Structure 1
C-alpha cells in the first residue's frame, strides 16, 4: 500500500483519502436558497463506498461539519461503527448550518462556538476523538488566527482532538498555524489545473501534510462531463454561476478553457493504463511527497477507481515534464 505521513503528527496514512462533501446531500444558502451540496444521495451507497475504501486500504477520511448540515458526519459515523480504529478521521469547523432546515446561516470562530462545534462533530461521528480538526474559514482575519490556535491547543490537551490544521489557500495564514506544536496539515485547492508551489513550500518546510481538496477539479478531471450538455442535479453546487471560487463549472457546464487543457494532457495522464482520474491523482503525488489528495465520492464505483490509482503510484519526472510543457502551450 502506497502510504504517506500526516505531517509532523507521525501518523501513517494511505497516500489517498476520501472527501465527504458530496455524501452530505443537499443543503442551501439561507439568503439565496442556492445549493451548497452535490445533489441527492443514497446513504446506503455512501456507507458501502466508505467500507470499500477501508477494505482497499484507504483509511484517511475527510469531511466537514457543514457538509449536508452535519449529514456527512452522521453517515461517516454510521459507516465507522465497529471500525473506528481503522480510520484516521478529519473534519472541519467554522461554517454554521442548521441541521433541521438544511440551511447555511453564517460563520463563527469564537472560543465558545469552536468548543461546541467540536462536541457536536464528536456526537455525529460517534467517536470520542478527532484525529485532525481543521479550521474551515479560509479567509479568516490573520490578526485573529492565534485565538483560534489557542482554543485548538486546549482541545488537544482535553483529548478531544489529536492534531489540527487550517483549510486555506493563503500561505501567510498557513504560516501562522505552522508555528503551533500540534498543527500538522494545511488543506488547500490543488490539482493539475491549479498548482500552488508556494503552499507546497510552506508544508515541506514545516513538515505539514498538504491535503488536497478538488484533486479531480469537481469531477472535470474524470472526463465524464460534456462541454455543452448540462446533466447535473438541480441541487448540485456546480449549477451555480455566482461563486467566484467555482471555476471548474458555471451553470453546470465545465470551463471551456480547462476542458481544452484536459484534451492536451489526456494522453499523458492516461498512459500506462491509467484512467483520467488515476492520472490526475498520480500528478499530485509526483508534485511533492507531502501531498494527500482527498477526491470526493458518492458511489462504490468511484472509490474503486480512485483506489486503483494507489497501485500505479506517482507519474514519472518525464511525464510531469511533458504535462508542464503541454499546459504552457495552452496558456500561451
Structure 2
C-alpha cells in the first residue's frame, strides 16, 4: 500500500488533524543513534504528504526535540497542528533521574520554555505528560486553562490518566485530547478510558501504535537495538516475553500478507478502525517508514478481518509490562 497526499482528517474535540500524525520523540531520544539531516527530510516529507499533526515534549532530549521542531517550523507554522507536553523534569536525586511536576508555578515556567524552543507564539495542544501525585489535577488544569485564556495555548490535553482523573480535569476546563499508549499489544485504554473519552467528547491520541516498533515485524532479536536504546530494558523486549510477543507478531504478518499490506500497515489500520475520534501518532526517523505508515490509510479492514485479528491478538495477549516501572501511568 502506498501513501496518499490527500490525507483524511480526524476531529479531536475542537481540533482538526490529519488522521495519522507524526510522533517526533525518536528523532531526539530513547531509540539509539540520530541523524538530524534524515530527521528534517522526514519532517519535510510528512508535511508534503499532508501530515498536519506533530507531537513532541520538553523532556525529549531533554529539550532537543522541541528545538529540532522549532528550527524546522520556520515558514511552516500555519500548516501545522503542534502538540507538546510538560510535567516530567530531570532530577538526579529522584528515582530514575526524573520527577513529575504539575504545580501551577511550573506550568507557567514550562510553557515559556517550550514556546521559546519551538520558536512560536502559541502551542495548539498542550499536554500534561504525567499526573503529579502531589498536586491536585484541578490545580494543574486550572493553571493550564489560564494559558488558554492568554492565547499561549489553544487546547489542553492529558497523557496516561484514569477515567476518574479525566472527568475531574474536564470539569475544570474542556480537555481536547487524551494521549495514551494504544496498539494491538497495548489495549489498556479499552478498560474504561476510551469510554470516558467518548462520554465527555474528548479525542484520543494513541502513541506507540506500532508497539514501539515491534509490530512492524522488523525486530527479531533484542540485539537489533543500539546499546542506548531504552527498549533493551523494556520488559516486553526481554527473555520469554520477547519470544511470546514474537509469536504474536508472526500471526499479524500472516494476515498482513493476505491483505497485501505490511504488518505495520495492518497494525495501524487496526488502530484507525477503532473509531473516528482516534488520531494515532506513529513515530519514525526515516522517510521510508513514514511512507509505509501512511499507506495504512489505504488499508480497509472488514468486520471479519477485525474479528480474525482480535482472535489471534486479543486484549491482554502481550507478555510483559509496558515499562520497567508502571507506577507513574494511569493515575
Normalising by the smaller structure, the TM-score range is 0.7 to 0.9
Residue 68 of structure 1 and its aligned partner are, at CA, apart by 0.8
In structure 1, C-alpha distance between the alignment counterparts of 2:81 and 2:271, rounded to whole Å: 21
Equivalent residues in 2 for 1:123-272, closer than 5 Å: 123-138=116-131, 140-141=132-133, 144-195=136-187, 196-197=189-190, 198-227=192-221, 230-240=223-233, 246-250=234-238, 255-272=242-259
8 Å Cα contact 1:47/1:78 also seen in 2: no
8 Å Cα contact 1:95/1:137 also seen in 2: yes
8 Å Cα contact 2:253/2:262 also seen in 1: no
Q: Which of 310, 318, 325 is matched with 1:324 structurally?
A: 310
8 Å Cα contact 1:65/1:93 also seen in 2: yes
Residue aligning to 1:21: 25
The alpha-carbon distance between structure 1 residues 329 and 204, as it changes in their structure 2 partners (threshold 3 A), is: closer
Q: Which of 76, 80, 84 is matched with 1:83 structurally?
A: 76
Residue 307 of structure 1 and its aligned partner are, at CA, apart by 1.6
In structure 2, C-alpha distance between the alignment counterparts of 1:189 and 1:247, rounded to whole Å: 15
Residue aligning to 1:8: 13
In structure 1, C-alpha distance between the alignment counterparts of 2:8 and 2:302, rounded to whole Å: 18
In structure 2, C-alpha distance between the alignment counterparts of 1:268 and 1:326, rounded to whole Å: 10
In structure 1, C-alpha distance between the alignment counterparts of 2:134 and 2:122, rounded to whole Å: 27
With normalisation by structure 2, the TM-score equals: 0.86
Q: Secondary structure at the match of 2:228?
A: coil
Residue 176 of structure 1 and its aligned partner are, at CA, apart by 2.1
More off after superposition, 53-62 vs 201-210: 201-210
- Unpaired runs of 5+ in structure 2? 1-5, 318-331
In structure 2, C-alpha distance between the alignment counterparts of 1:4 and 1:201, rounded to whole Å: 21
In structure 2, C-alpha distance between the alignment counterparts of 1:288 and 1:137, rounded to whole Å: 24
Q: CA RMSD in A?
A: 2.2
In structure 1, C-alpha distance between the alignment counterparts of 2:264 and 2:270, rounded to whole Å: 10
In structure 2, C-alpha distance between the alignment counterparts of 1:149 and 1:269, rounded to whole Å: 42
The answer on 1:70 being equivalent to 2:60 is: no
8 Å Cα contact 1:6/1:208 also seen in 2: no
Residue aligning to 2:269: 282
Q: Secondary structure at the match of 1:165?
A: strand
Q: Secondary structure at the match of 1:89?
A: strand
Residue aligning to 2:289: 302
Count of residue correspondences? 306
Residue 250 of structure 1 and its aligned partner are, at CA, apart by 3.0
In structure 2, C-alpha distance between the alignment counterparts of 1:177 and 1:270, rounded to whole Å: 43
In structure 1, C-alpha distance between the alignment counterparts of 2:97 and 2:284, rounded to whole Å: 22
